[in-house]
Amino acid sequence: ISFPIFVKLGKKFLKLSHGGDDLEEDRIEAMKAKNVLELWLARKDFTQYESVVMKLLKVAEMKKDLGPTKRAHLARHGVNVALERLRLDGCSTDALKYVASSWELACNILNEDAMIPAILQLFLTARPPSPENHSFAVASLAVALARVLSWTSPRNVYAFSLGALLHDVGLM
87-97 in b/e form (b: 16+ CB < 10 A) is eeeeeeeebbe
pLDDT interval class at 172 (50, 70, 90): low
Q: Residue 5 pairs with which residues in a beta bridge?
A: 17
Q: Chain-wide mean pLDDT for the chain?
A: 82
Of 25-29, 98-102, 118-122, where does mean pLDDT reach its minimum?
118-122
pLDDT for the residue numbered 128: 63
pLDDT tens digits, 148-165: 788 878 888 888 888 888
Q: What share of the chain is helix, strand, coil (3-state, %, to 5)?
A: 70, 5, 25
In angstroms, the CA 34 to CA 79 distance is 26
pLDDT for the residue numbered 126: 64
Contact 167, 138 (CB under 8 A): yes
pLDDT for the residue numbered 18: 86
> Once rounded to an integer, what is the mean pLDDT over residues 76-86?
85
Q: How many alpha carbons fall within 13 Å on the CB side of residue 171?
A: 11
> Once rounded to an integer, what is the mean pLDDT over residues 10-22?
85
Angle subtended at Cα 85 by Cα 155 and Cα 2, rounded to the nearest 5 degrees: 110
pLDDT interval class at 127 (50, 70, 90): low
> Once rounded to an integer, what is the mean pLDDT over residues 122-147?
76
Higher pLDDT, 53 or 1: 53
pLDDT value at 166 more than 70 = yes
